[in-house]
Amino acid sequence: MRYDLKSLKGRRQRLGLTQTQLAHEAGVSQSMIAKIEAGMLDPAYTKAQKIFEALERVEKKKEPKAKDVMAKKVLIVKPSDKIVGVVRQMSAKGISQMPVVEAGSIVGMLTERAVIDRVGKEDVRRLLVKDVMEEMPPIVTEDTPISALNELLKHRNLVVVQKEGKIKGVVTKSDIIKSMI
């Protein structure tokens, strides 16, 4: 791996670290960090590796977690709920998907897309949530890093955040975007 020594100062400052703090984290001297940043020292590969690994560790610690970006108010539906009432509720609240919960456990997902797929094929007014629901969404803990959430959201529209088996929130792409602003 090639390390970009010119990026060292900017990355350190973005993380709010002093040269001394980075040096301590990397196990090198503060003067070494200062000389590298000033372009006066070309460190040995192993020293550069230690410094950049320390930066990555600090970046991971400071990375936002699911609990920092999740929407805490979560509307849920039961498999036995009638679709018509649920669709009205979704429309009124401006949401496009809801976890389906039975006996305290997530059993599926109801999405606008799943309902729309049934329109014209069946009398939607007679359908229950269990007739239309999709597979369960991904479930993560509150401490899941935002980078992992991003990967999950490339494949699914919603991620459920749980703690001790209870829903604490949900994360969508728009929640990630809002957290950046």
Q: Could you report the per-residue pLDDT of 47-105, keeping only the tens digit for each?
A: 999 999 999 999 888 889 999 999 999 999 999 999 999 999 999 999 999 999 999 89
Average pLDDT over residues 1-10: 88
Q: How far is CA 60 from the centre of its chain?
A: 13
Annotate 39-69 with b (16+ C-beta within 10 A) or e (fewer).
Answer: eeeebeeebbebbbebbeebeeeeeebbbeb
Q: Which residues contact 147 (CB under 8 A, 6 or more apart)?
A: 63
Q: Note the pLDDT of residue 123.
A: 85
Greater model confidence, 61 or 20: 20
Average of per-residue pLDDT across 134-146: 95
Q: Is the pLDDT of residue 1 over 70?
A: no
List the domains of the chain with CATH numbers: 5-62 (1.10.260.40), 66-180 (3.10.580.10)
Judged against a pLDDT cut of 90, whether residue 130 lies above it is answered with yes
pLDDT tens column, 153-172: 999 999 999 999 899 999 99
CB-based burial label for 175 (10 Å; 0-12, 13-18, 19+): buried
180 pLDDT band, cuts 50/70/90, is: confident
- Going from the C-alpha of 36 to that of each of 24, 54, 72, 92, 116, the distances in angstroms are 15, 15, 45, 58, 59
pLDDT at 34 over 80: yes
- Return the pLDDT at 122: 84
Task: Tell me what pLDDT residue 2 has.
Answer: 73
For residues 123-140, average pLDDT? 93
Percent of the chain with pLDDT strictly greater than 90: 84
Q: Which residues pair with 171 in a beta bridge?
A: 159
* Spatial CB neighbours of 104, under 8 Å, sequence gap ≥ 6: 165, 166
Mapping DSSP to helix (H, G, I), strand (E, B) and coil, where does residue 147 land?
helix
Per DSSP, the residues of 44-110 read: -HHHHHHHHHHHHHHHHHHS-BHHHH-B-----B-TTSBHHHHHHHHHHHT-SEEEEEETTEEEEEE
pLDDT, greater one: 45 or 180: 45
Report the predicted TM-score, pTM, of the whole model to 2 decimal places. Answer: 0.72
